[in-house]
Structure 1
Amino acid sequence: MSRGLRIAFFGSSLVSAYWNGAATYYRGLIRALHARGHRVTFYEPDAYGRQEHRDLDDPDWARVVVYSAHGTDGLEACLEDAWGSDVVVKASGVGTFDAFLEARVLELRRSGTQVVFWDVDAPATLERVAKDAHDLFRPLIPRYDHILTYGGGAPVVNAYRELGARRCVPIYNALDPDTHHPVPPEARFAGDLCFLGNRLPDREARVEDFFLKAAALLPQARMLLGGSGWEQRVLPGNVRRLGHVYTQDHNALNCSARAVLNIHRDSMARFGFSPATRVFEAAGAGACLITDAFEGVEQFLEPGREVLVARSGEEVAEHVQRLTDTEARRLGQAALRRVLAEHTYAHRAVQVEAELGYRAAGAEVLAPGGT
């Protein structure tokens, strides 16, 4: 039996979802890779209060190394620890010393070691690079063995190829059925529509349009708003703030409201083919999902049968007004069946292995993209 890959992964945080939208994605993928025999060490900075707001103890499916965000000494020790790994991953948006890491991980390349840039916010990265010809990441792109992305489809792949990427493959969000699944509803999360998302500059206008406008149009509806940063925002009277909702409460939230709303950030909506983590969290809980329209939605869920799609706050309000409990359950169950059949992190882990050229019964690492 061949050994699994030793993977060194530099990311924002595995153990905390606090101001860290990639946490669910990281956890699902890394758990699935571990289940297939690979060994992952996740290196994360002690930054942004994430260690104080942990929602996960150090897991048995990954080794977690936390380093100081003050100076690069701790990071240099992590890079030394990662030396000799089969795969070294630098994720986007670590939040501290990103430019330093993007260059330094490339120094770990050698025969038998592949270096990957894993872009968990490709639309934002590509828009930033396009605006600045002197962006420090731009000349590094052709040096990575692989660019893997959280989403984006052909628009993202083509944009990275134009920047010289050797390979660019989307590894989409997915469902971890052990983490997100149906649970009994809880009265504290009862409502007609809930939206969960941190207040971010490139999302707020869309939240205003798709959620707050819908709330204003349905003054009798019970609306729930979860996420950090909304404390000072003036809201319609029928919107109840939940504040930061810890990941262990996501299932209860998704299973308690009649419908769950997904709203993309501006750049993700423009590029399309980028279903947010919330899409699969909600579908995995059997929730009735309403999403803002994005190109490629039918690749993941069938509109009208597995998901409701809205192009404005008015359409969100229309969906909520027409939605019966019976129809909500039917849509939620259809979505759950679809994601279990096609969109779990176990499916994505197989895709990652194929891209890295890993074969369980043969040589561990082949040429990039080999079979």
Structure 2
Amino acid sequence: MRIVILGLSITSSWGNGHATTFRGLVRELVRRGHDVLFLERDVPWYASNRDMPRPPWGRTELYADLADLRARFTDDVRDADLVIVGSYVPQGVEVGRWVQATARGIPAFYDIDTPVTLAKLSRGDFEYLSPDLIPGYRLYLSFTGGPTLRKIERELGSPAARPLYCSVDPELYEPRNCVAKWDLGYLGTYSADRQPTLERLMLEAAREWDAGRFVVAGPQYPEEVRWPANVRRVEHLPPPEHAGFYCAQLFTLNVTRADMVLAGYSPSVRLFEAAACGVPIISDVWNGLESVFVPGEEILLARTEKDTLGYLRDMTEADRRALGAKARARVLAEHTAAHRALAVEEYAREASRGAASGTPLDRVIVKR
């Protein structure tokens, strides 16, 4: 296929989780023989923080504004087999209207922020998507699966809402022979809605277990957060250092945004990254997690600090390693960027036929 993707960013992972998702997807689509053009709005905050200014897969072009986009890339959009507009694209509503009016192929929306998007729509905030655009996208690709997909179809009028979860690059995330520095670690930017869970599952555990070694990496935590003495803080951790960070932990903690907990079926990329490194994950609880990992066998669930401490202090080394290995096997079998590229192909074929596949939407997982 000839594919055009208009996304938030592929050149800069600064302050966003979109770039790594697009990098893996574009790379794998190109490996499978597709012609991919990625179009990114040239904005100052990414221009000064580009960690991949020239992605080596497909073609990446920057555009200055809507007029520049139309002037230079109308032919590409018109002639493409599949045109994907991502969430949080600047002036996304105007971009979407132009794509739907121009594309002869399949126009699609890729929502990397589905619970946030739906919350914004419900309060009339049409920053990058408006209700009238949804029926015009023949595919609505979503980071959230489960019942949310039915809502997008039945209440918002999408012809086909399909799960396209985040993924992991197994070439970058794999087990390493690292010295275990910490009993439990957490990687994530500060979020007010995540902080109570982080407090409950990690910081309270740290206060109860003085001998435990804990670490939190990520920016923007307010000064008033009271960090126990046995919790180390890392203000910023560049993506190339993530795998080594995971591998230096005996367990890693996953904490989910409140909107995603409510929606369910919203696995974060941190889940897949840590699992690909073979590091056992202790996670908060949300609907649909069991469709991604088997609780007790591939992931550990915690509701209180006592649950966390029970895993950290009581699990045998053999059981810990076995759980991490099973989680890694699951990710490699179902959740790599290569699987997502195959899913895009399948959904595009389905959309081109104009018929539903009949497969329950939250169970669509394409395997190699």
Following superposition, the deviation at residue 164 of structure 1 comes to: 0.7
Tell me, in whole angstroms, the C-alpha distance in 2 between the residues paired with 1:62 and 1:336: 29
Conserved 8 A contact 1:262-1:289: yes
SS in 2 for 1:330: helix
Question: Judging changes above 3 Å, is the alpha-carbon distance between structure 1 residues 67 and 322 closer, same or farther for their aligned structure 2 residues?
Answer: farther
SS in 2 for 1:10: strand
Tell me, in whole angstroms, the C-alpha distance in 2 between the residues paired with 1:133 and 1:29: 28
Conserved 8 A contact 1:354-1:369: no
Q: For structure 2, which runs of at least 5 residues remain unmatched after alignment?
A: 358-368
Tell me, in whole angstroms, the C-alpha distance in 2 between the residues paired with 1:236 and 1:253: 20
Tell me, in whole angstroms, the C-alpha distance in 2 between the residues paired with 1:274 and 1:185: 30
What residue number does 2:361 align with? none
For residue 352 of structure 1, the aligned residue among 344, 351, 354 is 344
Q: For structure 1, which runs of at least 5 residues remain unmatched after alignment?
A: 359-364
What residue number does 1:101 align with? 95
Tell me, in whole angstroms, the C-alpha distance in 1 between the residues paired with 2:118 and 2:138: 18
Does residue 224 of structure 1 match 2:218?
Answer: no
- The 5 Å alignment of 1:170-209 reads 170-185=163-178, 190-209=181-200
Following superposition, the deviation at residue 257 of structure 1 comes to: 0.7
Question: Judging changes above 3 Å, is the alpha-carbon distance between structure 1 residues 241 and 351 closer, same or farther for their aligned structure 2 residues?
Answer: same
What is the Cα-based RMSD across aligned positions, in Å?
2.5
Tell me, in whole angstroms, the C-alpha distance in 2 between the residues paired with 1:17 and 1:307: 27
Tell me, in whole angstroms, the C-alpha distance in 1 between the residues paired with 2:167 and 2:142: 13
Tell me, in whole angstroms, the C-alpha distance in 1 between the residues paired with 2:267 and 2:142: 12
Task: Write out per-residue CA displacement over residues 187-217 of structure 1, whole angstroms, 9 at most, x where no aligned residue.
Answer: 7xx2111111111344333333333333333
Task: Write out per-residue CA displacement over residues 303-340 of structure 1, whole angstroms, 9 at most, x where no aligned residue.
Answer: 11111111234422332232344332221111111222
* Identity in percent: 34
For residue 38 of structure 1, the aligned residue among 28, 31, 34 is 34
Does residue 290 of structure 1 match 2:312?
Answer: no
What residue number does 2:135 align with? 142
- The 5 Å alignment of 1:237-316 reads 237-316=229-308
What residue number does 2:162 align with? 169
Conserved 8 A contact 1:288-1:332: yes
Tell me, in whole angstroms, the C-alpha distance in 2 between the residues paired with 1:307 and 1:26: 26
Does residue 215 of structure 1 match 2:206?
Answer: yes
Question: Judging changes above 3 Å, is the alpha-carbon distance between structure 1 residues 134 and 119 closer, same or farther for their aligned structure 2 residues?
Answer: closer
What residue number does 1:16 align with? 12
Conserved 8 A contact 2:4-2:80: yes
Conserved 8 A contact 2:120-2:126: no
Q: TM-score, normalised by structure 2?
A: 0.87
What residue number does 1:87 align with? 82
Question: Judging changes above 3 Å, is the alpha-carbon distance between structure 1 residues 104 and 215 closer, same or farther for their aligned structure 2 residues?
Answer: farther
Deviates more, 1:247-256 or 1:307-316: 307-316
Question: Judging changes above 3 Å, is the alpha-carbon distance between structure 1 residues 244 and 104 closer, same or farther for their aligned structure 2 residues?
Answer: farther
**Structure 2 residue identity aligned to 1:54:** R
Following superposition, the deviation at residue 48 of structure 1 comes to: 6.4
Question: Judging changes above 3 Å, is the alpha-carbon distance between structure 1 residues 211 and 67 closer, same or farther for their aligned structure 2 residues?
Answer: farther
SS in 1 for 2:54: coil
Tell me, in whole angstroms, the C-alpha distance in 2 between the residues paired with 1:76 and 1:198: 35
Tell me, in whole angstroms, the C-alpha distance in 2 between the residues paired with 1:133 and 1:194: 36
Following superposition, the deviation at residue 260 of structure 1 comes to: 1.0
